[in-house]
Structure 1
Amino acid sequence: MSSSYLVVAGVDGSEGGRRALQWAAGEAATRGGAVQAVIAWSWDGLEYGPIAATQPQEEAERAGRLLDHEIEELVARNGSSLPVAGEVIEGRPADVLSAAARTADLLVLGSHGHSRVRHTVLGSVSEDCIRKATCPVVVIPVPGERPETAAEPAPRT
């Protein structure tokens, strides 16, 4: 990629990953940059999606198809004027994303993806990337359920 401003976006097939990729595309477009969409895959039991593969090569191919689909959807929504590249990398998601962002200006992640453990505010991958990344990290929240009514604070006297 020849653009001087690079935004790396973590993609995993989740709503959070889609929102992160969309936000990354908007940020890159604003700055005249490019997006590198990255998906991590692993055969050691770490999952990014709901269906487990039976062979390592199958897992890598499935990750590639998922990434291609997410990029195609992004281009369908935004047009093809923004440079977007995809990369499928074997490894632990936080390690892969942090390494991919070493030469980036920004790393963008969804707050929760397809992991087994959910944290209160951030997903475990987001938390780990925030600690490891050498560039700024933006975590895009996934809209959750809103309470029906919010209690108003008592008036001060």
Structure 2
Amino acid sequence: MTQFLVVGVDDTEAGRQALIWALSEGRDGWKTVKAVSVWNYDYNGVDALLNPDAVQEKTAQKLDLAIKEALDGQAPPPIDTVVQQGRPDEVLCTEASGARALILGPPGSSRRSGHVVAGCLRRAPCPVVVLPQSYEDPNGGRHRARRFRWH
């Protein structure tokens, strides 16, 4: 059975931090990382109504770029990507079914991020890791999220 981590990735600093942490955990434990980006009509407005395929493609491109930047030339763990339309907390919890953990960035960068974290904490089918506000890159910084011991 493949162990995998799910990470919620959006175009915020919190999403970038969660992705960096998840990739680091995946690399160290050779777990597959499932990077999930969600778009919806509420936050993508008229563009989504007029051309949902274009919004889907743009979201996928942003996710690919975020992964490339987060890896910063380091060897990646196995990575799966999911780009889907829906409510972020619902999509993340569905994708986390069977996961070792669901990784989320620190809430507070927007009101929406707090709702996503709260929804995932209520409904997730696995442990949820919410990075602290002071989280920084695993290669530096004085406040780091702790490494896990995966059994």
Question: What TM-score comes out, normalization by structure 1 length?
Answer: 0.75
Task: Quote how far apart the aligned CAs of 1:46 are.
Answer: 3.0
Task: Quote how far apart the aligned CAs of 1:19 are.
Answer: 0.5
Task: Give 2:43's aligned amino acid.
Answer: L
Tell me if 1:80 matches 2:75.
Answer: yes
Task: Quote how far apart the aligned CAs of 1:62 are.
Answer: 1.4
Task: Quote how far apart the aligned CAs of 1:61 are.
Answer: 1.4
Using the aligned pairs only, state the percent identity.
36
2:116 maps to 125
**Deviation sequence 1:96-153 (CA, Å, 0-9, x none):** 00000012111000123775x26xxx71101100100010000113339xxxxxxxxx
Alignment of 1:31-110 (within 5 A): 31-43=29-41, 45-47=42-44, 53=47, 54-77=50-73, 79-110=74-105
Q: What is the number of equivalent residue pairs in this alignment?
A: 133
Question: What TM-score comes out, normalization by structure 2 length?
Answer: 0.77
Say which one has the larger Rg: 1
Q: Aligned pair in 2 of structure 1 residues 8, 66: CA closer, same or farther (>3 Å)?
A: same
Unaligned runs of 5+ in 2: 136-151
Task: Give 1:11's aligned amino acid.
Answer: V
In structure 1, C-alpha distance between the alignment counterparts of 2:84 and 2:122, rounded to whole Å? 20
Task: Give 1:84's aligned amino acid.
Answer: I
Could you say what secondary structure the match of 2:35 adopts?
strand
Tell me if 1:143 matches 2:134.
Answer: yes
Task: Quote how far apart the aligned CAs of 1:65 are.
Answer: 1.0
In structure 1, C-alpha distance between the alignment counterparts of 2:65 and 2:83, rounded to whole Å? 13
In structure 1, C-alpha distance between the alignment counterparts of 2:76 and 2:14, rounded to whole Å? 24
Unaligned runs of 5+ in 1: 145-157
Runs of 4+ with deviation above 6 angstroms: none
Give the CA RMSD over aligned residues: 2.4
Which of the two has greater helix per residue?
A: 2
1:151 maps to none
Could you say what secondary structure the match of 2:11 adopts?
coil
Task: Quote how far apart the aligned CAs of 1:84 are.
Answer: 1.5
